[in-house]
Amino acid sequence: MSAVRAALRISRRDLWRAKGRSLLILVMIGLPVLAITAAAVYTSTSDLDPRERLRWELGSAAVLVTDTELVGPIRQSAERPGLFMELPDKTRPPLTKAEIEAVAGPGARVIRSFEGYGEYQERDSYRDATIWEADARDPVTTSRFHLLDGRFPQTEDEVAVSDVVGVPVGNVLRVTRAGIAKRVVGVVRAAPPAAHYNVRQIITLPGTLLDGVSHQSRWLIETRQPVTWDRVRQANEKGLTVLSRAVLDDPPSGEDGQVDVGGYPSLTWNEPLVAAVLVTQVVLLAGPAFAVGLRRRRRELALIAAQGGSGRQLKLIVISDGLILGAGASVIGAILGVGVARVIVAAAGQWPDGELGPFEVPVGLVALTVALGTLSGLVAAIVPAVQAARWDVAAALAGRRDTRRDRAGRPLLGTLVAVLGVAALAYAALSGRLDAYIAGALLGQLGLVMIMPWLIRRIGPLARRLPLPLRLAVRDGVRNRGRTAPAVVAVMAAAATFGMITVLSDSSAARNEQRYRSPYTQGTTAIYGAEVTEESWRTIRGIAAKTLPGVPLVEALTPVDAKDEPLRTELQERGCDGCGWYNAWGDLPLGGPDLLRYLLGRTDPAAEAALAAGRAVVFNPAGVRNGEVALTLPPHRLIEDVEPARVSLPATLVKVDCPTAVAGVAPVSAFTSRGYAVKLTHLLVDPQVRRLTPAEVQRLDGPVRAVTAKVAVTTEHGPDIGGLRGLHPFVIAAALIALGATFSATALAAADARRDMETLSALGARPRTRRAVVAGQAAFIAGLGVPVGLLAGLGLAAVESAGLAINVSRMPPDVAPNGYRFPDPGFVLAVPWPQFVAVAVGLPLLAALVAGLFARTRVRLSRRVA
């Protein structure tokens, strides 16, 4: 232990003397720790756990009981009562207040509330909102809301609204489609989105807005007796869900309170592999810094060796540097990360001033990050420690340069490791396993670390025709491959990340563009709704005629049953299993020649004549048998135990060589003659006749949607892929990482090449020449790392795209309702070459410019010992 204490003391004193070098290493290790800590704290603050949500769920109550109106028993989640299984098929009337009080137990105080959804008028349209009916003046319920202005409602014509609604106190709010006028007497702060509440809220007294509207009965219970999990399960027997403070304080053990809600399994990070990637990234940056610092301490360590210090003790001193700097940088980075997160949270605002929850520091995760940072410092110092034990003491004391060359890399082993990484990525692309992705990225990066010294050595002879400053910079990098190669790999990793994400994003956009399936022709403006009344359609037609004078509207209809329930017209024979896709049309909409022309995109006199003669025009060859088409008529809404009707219509086949959204058109007379009534479902503006401008669509949308909530207005613009391309945040992030690694490596190279700079000055080199050498070092590192990284990212993206293409090829082919089989997109790889060229050329030039501008040109000549 005495040797350890001595090594730590020597390291501490030397690090304090070499403040610049120590600060550089602190920044290299501390910055990742700072970023991870800040992200972890912000994420924990923005993500509310069940106990933090109690502020909006319970107020000051002890229990919230929700009546599901189901005949129990049910099984609920302890933390999220809204998640439950074992749903009974039978329902019952809502429980009375006396029945809830019996469940709550003696001495409990019960406050009834109702929660549902409604609408309020906003200019020419309507907005959805959560309606909460309760006496908010009660102390138990008051604490659920933060009152910003005014007071809570006292009469039935008064409401309080959340601040997001934007109606100040004293104004009138018109609620529901009936336009019920309510005077706003209070404004409350909306719950943050993380609390899983609709931010648009209307608070009113019971029985004022939700009568006749679907809603849930909720009971806030104030009691001194803790409602345990056993009592919650007793309430579940009666079809009640319970959110209890006592249960959250003491959750049930095992799987008793867990509910399997199904769905897709979520991908989770493999912590050891993530830790390995983090440590590797930090070591790539900090390792060369320790190596440069070691060269600056050669004489000091040689003196210790000359006085009897063993190689083991020299290793211990250098490793102590890594321990002190790693631990110090990690602790400082964690503290600063918490501080940065605190500033960000304060700027974003915590509830009730903002949307974030209580400030929360995940101590365990922060401690793990600090430990990883410390480990990174230790690992980064291992290779320099081994080098220190092998030095020539006499040469070090004489101040002569170490004549031994850096290892030329392990190209064969590196190639093998990189191939294993690519294989792991290929397996990940086929299996979707996240740990395989991380393992592949780690192996690929380690392989590049082994190959890079060999590659740098091969580049050296190519510099003989470069100008002197660049030639000196390249040769310095080749001569000092031990610090150049890790820096190049760090820059390469950032560029590869950018390249892979950009190529995958553009490839995904291209694939989505090929696989996009639309129910309308591009440019179509559609007004549609399957449950809109005839009166509402008359009003909508008038609005459209006023807004779009002279523009013809194409009508599409659907049959209805005796209960006025809209029916879908589906082909019994489609020629494939599971082909087609659900849309609001049905397979065979009802309409006239204008609808037929719209769907075909052309005029077909023979088809129009057949439609006028009462025959269905069918585009799917498999649907027509013996001159007839067989249809199934299920209701639009899913209704259990209802056997759909079946009809057969005379049909004419029209071949279409491109995909269509429907399988044909049926005449209205074919259904009215069979006793069916028909209902309008679509009004379409044919883009071949008139393509509406965005301003015209906007003028049409508000008034039409104000007629009824069951209608929608949309314009078909094709696939929305704008958000997948031009990922500027990734460009900026990759540029910052690459520039940071380049500047760090350039600073190390400049410090390590100080004696060479002294030689240049002694030979009469101007300051601008020395500045050009520093700029050349930055250009060499970035110029080698960025292009190779982009190519590596392109390769990784190609592997991922190939795996996706294989997985897609195993799926059934897409078939349009008319029987058209969409070709398999296969291998799709879209490369944004302009961005690639801009990054490959621009980043090295920017790095060279910045490094040259901030280079130190004053050189202090020193005496040398021969």
CA 225 vs CA 52, 79, 138: distances in Å: 22, 19, 20
pLDDT at 729: 44
- Pairing between β-strand 172-175 and β-strand 645-653 as defined by DSSP bridges: unpaired
Q: Which residue do the tokens 């030689």 mark?
A: 759
Q: For residue 642, what pLDDT band results from cuts at 50, 70 and 90?
A: low
pLDDT in tens, 23-37: 777 877 887 788 778
Query: How many whole angstroms separate alpha carbon 116 and alpha carbon 129?
Result: 9
Residue 779 has pLDDT above 70, yes or no: yes
Residue 725 has pLDDT above 50, yes or no: no
Residue 412 has pLDDT above 80, yes or no: yes
pLDDT at 262: 40
User: 3-class SS at 796?
Assistant: helix
- Pairing between β-strand 125-133 and β-strand 201-204 as defined by DSSP bridges: parallel
Using omega within 30 degrees of 0 as the cis cutoff, is the peptide bond preceding 644 cis?
A: no
pLDDT in tens, 332-343: 989 998 998 898
pLDDT at 748: 64
The residue-averaged pLDDT of 135-158 equals 86
Q: Detail the DSSP E strand segments found in 576-644.
A: 616-618, 624-625, 628-633
**Lowest mean pLDDT segment, chosen from 265-279, 629-643, 690-704:** 265-279
CB 38 within 8 A of CB 341: yes
Q: Which residue do the tokens 């002694």 mark?
A: 762
The residue-averaged pLDDT of 826-836 equals 85
CB 861 within 8 A of CB 757: no
Q: For residue 794, what pLDDT band results from cuts at 50, 70 and 90?
A: confident
Six-digit token string for 451: 């190959």
The residues pairing with 122 across neighbouring beta strands, listed in sequence order, are 125
- Rounded (5°) CA angle 838-842-843: 115
**Where are the alpha helices (H) located in 238-392, listed in sequence order?**
245-249, 271-296, 298-306, 311-348, 363-388
Other Cβ atoms less than 10 A from the Cβ of 477: the count is 26
Q: Which residue do the tokens 């990922």 mark?
A: 727
Q: For residue 213, what pLDDT band results from cuts at 50, 70 and 90?
A: low
pLDDT at 594: 93
pLDDT in tens, 421-451: 888 877 877 776 766 777 787 787 778 778 8
CA 330 vs CA 35, 372, 530: distances in Å: 11, 8, 61
Query: How many whole angstroms separate alpha carbon 317 and alpha carbon 8?
Result: 7
Query: How many whole angstroms separate alpha carbon 392 and alpha carbon 298?
Result: 10
pLDDT at 858: 65
Query: How many whole angstroms separate alpha carbon 478 and alpha carbon 469?
Result: 14
CA 232 vs CA 60, 251, 593: distances in Å: 19, 11, 63
Q: For residue 750, what pLDDT band results from cuts at 50, 70 and 90?
A: low
pLDDT at 82: 67
Query: How many whole angstroms separate alpha carbon 434 and alpha carbon 432?
Result: 6
Q: Which residue do the tokens 């397996």 mark?
A: 427
CB 822 within 8 A of CB 813: yes
Max intra-chain CA distance, the chain: 112
CA 262 vs CA 418, 450, 686: distances in Å: 38, 45, 43
Higher pLDDT, 305 or 228: 228
Give me the percent of the chain exceeding a pLDDT of 90. Answer: 13
Calculate the average pLDDT of the chain: 79
DSSP states of 135-175: -TTSHHHHTTSEEEEE----STTEEEEEGGG---TT-EEEE
DSSP state of 193: G
Higher pLDDT, 539 or 643: 539
pLDDT in tens, 73-92: 888 877 777 665 555 667 78
Q: Which residue do the tokens 């005449």 mark?
A: 667
pLDDT at 669: 92
pLDDT at 193: 64
pLDDT in tens, 458-494: 887 887 888 888 888 888 888 777 677 777 877 787 7
Six-digit token string for 155: 């009469």
3-state helix, strand, coil in the chain (%, to 5): 50, 15, 35
Other Cβ atoms less than 10 A from the Cβ of 147: the count is 15
Distance of CA 652 to the CA centre of its chain: 49
Query: How many whole angstroms separate alpha carbon 793 and alpha carbon 494?
Result: 9
pLDDT in tens, 575-619: 765 555 555 577 889 999 999 999 998 899 999 999 999 999 999
**Where are the alpha helices (H) located in 50-89, listed in sequence order?**
54-57
pLDDT at 256: 56
The residue-averaged pLDDT of 231-246 equals 86
Residue 837 has pLDDT above 80, yes or no: yes
User: 3-class SS at 650?
Assistant: strand
Distance of CA 572 to the CA centre of its chain: 41
**Lowest mean pLDDT segment, chosen from 637-641, 721-725, 781-785:** 721-725
HSE, side-chain direction, 13 A CA sphere, residue 743: 19
The residue-averaged pLDDT of 852-858 equals 72
The whole-model pTM stands at: 0.65
Q: For residue 861, what pLDDT band results from cuts at 50, 70 and 90?
A: low
**Where are the alpha helices (H) located in 466-615, listed in sequence order?**
468-479, 481-515, 534-547, 593-600, 605-612
C-alpha closest to that of 241 among 214, 218, 215, 262? 218
**Lowest mean pLDDT segment, chosen from 289-293, 412-416, 664-668:** 289-293
Residue 275 has pLDDT above 90, yes or no: no
The residues pairing with 158 across neighbouring beta strands, listed in sequence order, are 183
Higher pLDDT, 428 or 525: 525
Query: How many whole angstroms separate alpha carbon 822 and alpha carbon 824?
Result: 6
Q: For residue 366, what pLDDT band results from cuts at 50, 70 and 90?
A: confident
Q: What is the CA radius of gyration of the chain?
A: 36
pLDDT at 286: 67
Residue 282 has pLDDT above 70, yes or no: no
Q: For residue 264, what pLDDT band results from cuts at 50, 70 and 90?
A: very low
Highest mean pLDDT among 152-166, 268-282, 422-436: 152-166
DSSP state of 290: H
Six-digit token string for 625: 């048998």
The residue-averaged pLDDT of 167-194 equals 85
